[in-house]
Amino acid sequence: MKYDLLKTVEQGGCSSKISPKLLEEVLKDLPLPADPDILVDIATHDDAGVYRLDDKTALVLTTDFFPPVCSDPFEFGEIAAANSLSDVYAMGGKPILALNIMMFPSSDLPVEVYRDILNGGYSKTEEAGVRIIGGHSIDDATPKYGLAVIGIVNPGRVITNAGAVPGDILILTKPLGTGIIMAAQRMAMASDSEIRNALDMMKSLNNSAAEVMQNNGVRAATDITGFGLAGHALKMARASDVTIEIIVNDLPLLDGAYRMADEGCLPGASFRNLDYVEKDLFSGEDIDYNLRMLSFDAQTSGGILMCVSESISKVLLAQLITGGCPDSAIIGKVIKRGDSHIILK
C-alpha cells in the first residue's frame, strides 16, 4: 500500500522556505571568516560556498532539504536529491559526494516510507554520478529529506551570482510554475498530466546546463528555487550591482500554470517573495498580473538563470535546447544599474 506523503504537510518543497526578507535580517550581522581560499561565502547569498584547495581544484559545498512536495516517497527522494545537487551545478561545479539528511516521524509512518525516500535519493544521485557515503537522521513530526553535497570546480572557472554585467542576455533553462501546480493539486485544480509534467521537470538534473555554461565561459548564474525567479534575480542584481530586466511574456511556463494562476491559485510563498522584491522592483501598469505573480512563484528544483554574452546567446541557447534543456528561453537582459534592481516589463 502506497502512503501519501502530502497528508503530512501543509506546504512542501522549496515553498516551505522562510521569507527571504527574514533570512536576510538573520544573516546580516553574522561574522564572515577571513580566509583567502574562501572564494564564495554567504556575503552575496550565492547558491553554495566555494573553497580553494589548490590552483586546480576548489570544493563546492551546499546543503538543502525540505518537506514532501509530492505523494510518492520514492519520487520525493528523487526531487529532493535533484534540488540539492542543483546548487553545485549553478556554480559550474561537478557534484561528487553527498550525505543524506532525514527527518522522519518513526512512530507515525511505516519504515518502508523511510526506505523509499532514501532509495529515491540514491537513484537520482546514481544518475548524477554522485556517491552517497553517509548521513544523519532525527525523529521529527514532519518528514523532511535532502542532501549535503560536495562538488569540485576549477577555481578560475567558478560561476557566481555576482558576475552579471550590462549587456548580458538572460536565459532560463526550466519552465516556471511548480509552486502553483503543487498548490493546485491539493485543491483539485490540476489535471494528472499537468501534475506529472511538473514532477518530471522537478526530477530533471541541471547537469546539462552546467556543462553548457562551462563550455561557453559563462560567469554569472543562479538556480531558481524557493524565492522565485524575481527573488533570485534580485540577489544576482544586488551582488553584481546591475539592474535585471525580465520580459514576462517570454517566460517559459509549465502546462496549466497560467490557467491556475488566473483561477486564483496563488500560494502564500508567492506573496512572501513579492514582499521581498517589491521595494527594488519596477513593473509597468499594463503588465499581465498572472505572469507577474508567476515570476514570484516558489520553484522546487527549478532551472538555472544564466547571464550570457549577447554574442554567444543564440548559439548557447541552441546548445541548451538540443542538449537536455528543451524549455530554455531568453527572458530578458542585464542593464546598467538604475533606480530599481528588477524591472518586469
Mean pLDDT across the chain: 94
Indicate the range of 9-18, 113-122, 238-247 predicted with least confidence. Answer: 9-18
* Mean pLDDT to the nearest integer, 115-119: 96
pLDDT digits (tens, 9 = 90+) for 41-50: 888 888 899 9
Q: How far apart are CA 53 and CA 170, in angstroms?
A: 32
The pLDDT of residue 5 is: 87
Q: How far is CA 25 from the centre of its chain?
A: 21
Predicted confidence at residue 33, as pLDDT, reads 86
Mean pLDDT within 140-158: 96
Decide if 14 is catalytic: yes
Statement: residue 309 has pLDDT above 80: yes
From the list 14, 70, 307, 325, the catalytic residue is 14
**Could you tell me the pLDDT band of residue 23, with boundaries at 50, 70 and 90?**
confident
Q: How large is the average pLDDT for residues 135-158? A: 96
Q: 21-35, 37-51, 121-135, 228-242: lowest mean pLDDT where?
A: 21-35
Task: Delineate the domains of the chain, giving CATH numbers in brackets.
Answer: 5-157 (3.30.1330.10), 169-344 (3.90.650.10)
Sequence-separated (6 or more) residues with CB below 8 Å from residue 26:
none
So what's the pLDDT on residue 284? 83
Instruction: Give the residue-averaged pLDDT of 313-340.
Output: 97
- What is the model's pLDDT at position 12? 66
**Mapped to the 3 state alphabet, what secondary structure does the chain carry?**
CCCCHHHHCCCCHHHHCCCHHHHHHHHCCCCCCCCCCEEECHHHCCCCEEEECCCCCEEEEEEEEECCCCCCHHHHHHHHHHHHHHHHHHCCCEEEEEEEEEEECCCCCCHHHHHHHHHHHHHHHHHHCCEEEEEEEEECCCCEEEEEEEEEECHHHCCECCCCCCCCEEEECCCECHHHHHHHHHCCCCCHHHHHHHHHHHHCCCHHHHHHHHHCCCCEEEECCCCHHHHHHHHHHHHHCEEEEECHHHCCECCCHHHHHHCCCCCHHHHHHHHHHHHHEEECCCCCHHHHHHCCCCCCCCCEEEEECHHHHHHHHHHHHHCCCCCCEEEEEEEECCCCCEEEC
Cell of residue 264, nine digits: 486564483
Closest CA to 277 of 303, 238, 310, 333: 238
Please check the confidence at residue 159 and state whether its pLDDT lies above 70.
yes
Bridge pairing between strands 304-308 and 169-172: antiparallel
Banded model confidence at residue 30, pLDDT cuts 50, 70, 90: confident
| Spatial distance between the Cα atoms of 238 and 234, rounded to a whole number of angstroms | 6
Q: Is residue 177 pLDDT above 70, yes or no?
A: yes
